[in-house]
């Protein structure tokens, strides 16, 4: 990727994670952007450095992992990604490479003191234990995503959880899920061990 393509990829993924109507896959990562705008950008050197340092797939993953880890993707600056992003990228790659192991460890943590169904159950206006565990960083975001996908709970949570915290998490789940391939059969087997 040349520096301009890295810049376009950054802007497209930023829009994907911060704008509900934009879908990176639907629009094939295309956005309106000109070479002149890029040339005038004060951050151009960051994109030039990334274009020399990483392969195209690594650049996409680098941005995806950093936007997914951010509490507010719309305000995430490329300078912050360059400064702190490599650690997030490395940790996210580690999680991806051992995802089924990490998923099982997180399930053990969740079911240590109660049944799995109790951890995902909505109890009045309280967040389910699975959400609290994610917010407390006891389980990984990928575990939350896999469980809600395999157990088909996201729509139910959308219906019953009407608060800003869930809305942010729901949006992040929606935007991150196309980047994470989930073998539903494999994870269903793991879940069955804990039911």
Supply the CATH number for residue 109's domain: 1.10.220.50
Entry field: residues in the chain:
195
- Are residue 118 and residue 80 in the same domain, yes or no? no
CATH number, domain of 81, equals 1.10.8.60
Work out how many domains the chain is built from and give that number: 2
pLDDT of residue 190: 95
Range of the domain at 72: 3-96
Give 24-37 pLDDT, tens digit per residue: 999 999 999 999 99
In 23-181, alpha helices (H) = 35-40, 44-53, 56-69, 78-97, 99-110, 116-120, 129-135, 141-150, 154-160, 164-176
- Are residue 54 and residue 122 in the same domain, yes or no? no
Give 77-116 pLDDT, tens digit per residue: 999 999 999 999 999 999 999 999 999 999 999 999 889 9
The pTM for the full model equals: 0.89
pLDDT of residue 163: 87
Segments in the chain below pLDDT 70: none
Q: Residue 189: enclosing H or E segment and its boundaries?
A: helix 184-192
Give the residue among 89, 76, 136 at the shortest CA–CA distance from 109: 136
pLDDT of residue 162: 84
Which of 62, 96, 130 is the C-terminal boundary of a domain? Answer: 96
CA 51 to chain centre: 23
- Are residue 126 and residue 81 in the same domain, yes or no? no
> Burial level of 93, CB count in 10 A (0-12/13-18/19+)?
middle
Any idea of the CA torsion for 184, 186, 190, 195, to the nearest 10 degrees?
50
């Amino acid at each position: 990727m040349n520096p301009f393509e890295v810049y376009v990829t950054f802007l497209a993924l930023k829009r994907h994670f911060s704008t509900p109507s934009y879908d990176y896959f639907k629009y094939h990562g295309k956005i309106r952007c000109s070479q002149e705008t890029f040339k005038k950008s004060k951050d151009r050197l960051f994109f030039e450095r990334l274009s020399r340092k990483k392969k195209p797939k690594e650049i996409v993953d680098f941005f995806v992992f950093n936007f997914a880890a951010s509490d507010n993707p719309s305000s995430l600056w490329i300078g912050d990604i360059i400064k702190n992003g490599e650690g997030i990228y490395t940790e996210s790659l580690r999680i991806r490479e051992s995802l089924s192991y990490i998923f099982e460890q997180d399930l053990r943590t969740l079911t240590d003191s109660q049944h799995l169904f109790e951890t995902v159950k909505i109890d009045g206006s309280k967040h389910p234990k699975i959400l609290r565990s994610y917010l407390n960083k006891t389980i990984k975001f990928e575990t939350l995503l896999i469980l809600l996908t395999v157990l088909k709970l996201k729509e139910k949570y959308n219906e019953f959880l009407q608060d800003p915290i869930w809305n942010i998490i729901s949006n992040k789940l929606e935007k991150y899920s196309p980047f994470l391939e989930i073998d539903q059969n494999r994870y269903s087997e793991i879940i069955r061990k804990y039911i």
